[in-house]
Amino acid sequence: MIFDTPAGANPTDRMKVLGKPLDRYEGHLKTTGTATYAYEWQNVAPGVAYGYILGAAIAKGRITSIDTRDAERAPGVVGVVTYLNAGKPGVGKFYVQKMLAAPEVDHYHQPVAVVVAETFEQARAAAALVRVGYQRTAGRFDLAAQNGSAPVPPEGEFGGPNEKQVGDFVKAFAAAPVKVDETYTVPDQAHAMMEPHASIAKWDGDRVTCWTSIQQMNWGTRDLGLILGIPKQNVHLISPYIGGGFGGKGTVQIDLALAAIAARVVKRPMKVALQRPIMFNTTIHRPRTVQRVQLGAGHDGRLTAIGHDSLSGNLVGGRTEPTVTSTRTLYASANRLIRMRLATLDFAEGNAMRAPGEAPGLMALEVAMDELAEKLKMDPIELRVVNDTQVDPENPSKPFSTRAFVRCLREGAERFGWDKRQSKPGAVREGQWLIGIGMAGAIRGGKIAKAGARARLDRQGVVTIETDMTDIGTGSYTVVQQTAAEMMGVTPDRIVVKLGDSTFPETPGSGGQQGAPSVTAGVYAACMKLRETVAQRLGFNTAEVDFADGQVRSGNRSVKLADAAKDGEIVVEDLMEFAKLADQFQQQTFGAHFAEVAVDAYTGEVRVRRMLAVCAAGRILNAKTARSQVIGGMVMGVGAALMEDMAIDKRFGFFVNHDLAGYEVPVHADIPHLDAFFIDEVDPTISPVKAKGVGELGLTGVAPAVANAIYNATGVRVREYPITLEKHL
Ligand code: MOS
Query: Which tens digits make up the pLDDT trace of 481-540?
Result: 999 999 999 999 999 999 999 999 999 999 999 999 999 999 999 999 999 999 999 999
Q: How confident is the model at residue 66 (pLDDT cuts 50, 70, 90)?
A: very high
Q: Is 445 in the pocket of ligand 1 (CB under 6 A)?
A: no
pLDDT number for residue 544: 83
Rounded Cα distance between 717 and 371, Å, is: 9
E-strand ranges in 488-618 read 495-498, 546-548, 551-554, 557-560, 570-576, 588-600, 606-616
Ligand 1 atom showing the smallest separation from residue 250 Cα: 4
pLDDT number for residue 45: 96
Calculate the average pLDDT of the chain. Answer: 96
Ligand 1 atom showing the smallest separation from residue 352 Cα: 2
DSSP for residue 96: -
| Residue nearest (by alpha carbon) to ligand 1 atom 3 | 512
| 549 within domain boundaries | yes
Q: Is 60 in the pocket of ligand 1 (CB under 6 A)?
A: no
Q: Is 249 in the pocket of ligand 1 (CB under 6 A)?
A: no
The residue range of the domain holding 573 is 11-35+449-577
pLDDT in tens, 200-231: 999 999 999 999 999 999 999 999 999 999 99
Q: Is 704 in the pocket of ligand 1 (CB under 6 A)?
A: no
Bridge partner residues of 338 (DSSP): 164, 308
Rounded Cα distance between 701 and 544, Å, is: 47
Q: Is 339 in the pocket of ligand 1 (CB under 6 A)?
A: no
| 16 within domain boundaries | yes
Mutation choice for ligand 1 from 251, 470, 696, CB with most ligand atoms inside 8 A: 696
Ligand 1 atom showing the smallest separation from residue 695 Cα: 1
SS3 412: helix
Bridge partner residues of 433 (DSSP): 430, 600
In contact, 528 and 268? CB cutoff 8 Å:
no
| 461 within domain boundaries | yes
Rounded Cα distance between 82 and 101, Å, is: 8
| 217 within domain boundaries | no
| 503 within domain boundaries | yes
**Dihedral-angle region of residue 229 (phi above 0 means left; psi in -120 to 50 means alpha; beta otherwise):** left
**Alpha carbon of 260 to ligand 1 centroid (Å):** 25
How many domains does the chain contain in total? Answer: 1
pTM value surpassing 0.90: yes
Rounded Cα distance between 530 and 553, Å, is: 15
Q: Is 89 in the pocket of ligand 1 (CB under 6 A)?
A: no
Q: Is 354 in the pocket of ligand 1 (CB under 6 A)?
A: yes
Distances (CA, A) of 693 to 496, 620, 656: 23, 9, 35
**Alpha carbon of 252 to ligand 1 centroid (Å):** 14
Q: How many helices (H) and strands (E) does the chain have?
A: 16, 29
Position 542 pLDDT exceeds 90: no
pLDDT number for residue 195: 97
pLDDT in tens, 556-612: 999 999 999 999 999 999 999 986 766 799 999 999 999 999 999 999 999 999 999
**Alpha carbon of 344 to ligand 1 centroid (Å):** 23
CATH number for 31:
3.30.365.10
Terminal alpha carbon distance of the chain: 55
| 588 within domain boundaries | no
Q: State the Cα angle at 124 between 119 and 125, rounded to 5°.
A: 100
DSSP for residue 204: E
182 is catalytic: no
pLDDT number for residue 159: 62
% the chain with pLDDT above 90: 94
Mutation choice for ligand 1 from 353, 472, 700, CB with most ligand atoms inside 8 A: 353
| 397 within domain boundaries | no
| 571 within domain boundaries | yes
DSSP for residue 165: E
E-strand ranges in 264-302 read 270-273, 289-297
Q: Is 512 in the pocket of ligand 1 (CB under 6 A)?
A: yes
